[in-house]
A and B are shown apart, each in its own frame.
Chain A
Amino acid sequence: KQEVTQIPAALSVPEGENLVLNCSFTDSAIYNLQWFRQDPGKGLTSLLLIQSSQREQTSGRLNASLDKSSGRSTLYIAASQPGDSATYLCGAGSEKLVFGKGTKLTVNP
């Protein structure tokens, strides 16, 4: 059974700082891994999707990497802004996505 763990559970940084969020999964037989952001009381916004054959994806200030063999993914956020404050969820899976508990990010002005 797939289990997904995200570290840290919460992170508070000053504006402008670069940061890394971590995601690990137990079953490496995944089709893809996806990073989402969730604002309070809202649904999921997809940020980056990494197919199992890929090693990384980039979108603007975001870069996500995937290492299937070690069961790890990282989300790198460059030059963080207060608007990046949200909970970031990692979902991994084959037939269905299993989620970690998320990392709550606060970027202070």
Chain B
Amino acid sequence: GAVVSQHPSRVICKSGTSVKIECRSLDFQATTMFWYRQFPKQSLMLMATSNEGSKATYEQGVEKDKFLINHASLTLSTLTVTSAHPEDSSFYICSARGKETQYFGPGTRLLVL
């Protein structure tokens, strides 16, 4: 089946630093990937849609300059949280669009101190 990986699975960083999260489709090519964020006891909220070779499309209220998305190949999308602050601490989940539906990665837990 379709497998999506994320790296790292957990990251702790200091306030003001930048953090990069990778999302890879391991056994299929994905022209479209999605980035979601989940706060504790909340549902997944779509942040942006990442399209290979073009600019990402951000959902309303998501700062594009703070959450940089790069989808440079058909198997890799990256999310960089720039100048992270404690309120950015969350669970970030990516997904890749396959033939039938989206396939989800295992998530990355970010803690900003």
Given A43-B106, A43-B107, A49:B44 Cβ within 8 A: no
User: Which residue of chain B is the closest to A90 with respect to CB atoms?
Assistant: B43
Determine the chain A residues whose CB is within 8 A of the CB of B43 once the complex forms.
89, 99-102
Given A32-B100, A32-B101, A96:B46 Cβ within 8 A: yes
User: Which residue of chain B is the closest to A98 with respect to CB atoms?
Assistant: B46
List residues 16-59 of chain A with CB under 8 A from any CB of chain B: 31-32, 34, 36, 41-44, 46, 49, 51
Q: Is B7 an interface residue (CB 8 A)?
A: no
Query: Is there contact, CB below 8 Å, between B104 and A44?
Result: yes
- Kindly identify which residue among A31, A32, A89 contacts B44, using a CB–CB cutoff of 8 Å: A89
Contact with A along B1-39 (1 / 0, CB 8 A): 000000000000000000000000000000010101000
Chain A, interface size category, equals 20 to 34
How many residues in B have their beta carbons less than 8 Å from beta carbons of A?
A: 20
Query: Is there contact, CB below 8 Å, between A42 and B106?
Result: yes
Q: Is A97 an interface residue (CB 8 A)?
A: yes
A31 to B101, CA, bound (A): 8
A91 to B104, CA, bound (A): 12
User: Which residue of chain B is the closest to A102 with respect to CB atoms?
Assistant: B43
Contact with A along B30-69 (1 / 0, CB 8 A): 0010101000001111100100000000000000000000
Query: Is there contact, CB below 8 Å, between A34 and B101?
Result: yes
B36 vs chain A, min Cβ distance (A): 8
Determine the chain A residues whose CB is within 8 A of the CB of B34 once the complex forms.
96-97
Given A89-B43, A99-B44, A41:B104 Cβ within 8 A: no
B-to-A contact residues, CB < 8 Å:
32, 34, 36, 42-46, 49, 93, 95, 100-107, 109
| Shortest beta-carbon contacts, A-B, top 4 | A43-B106, A43-B107, A101-B43, A99-B44
A-to-B contact residues, CB < 8 Å:
31-32, 34, 36, 41-44, 46, 49, 51, 89, 91, 95-102
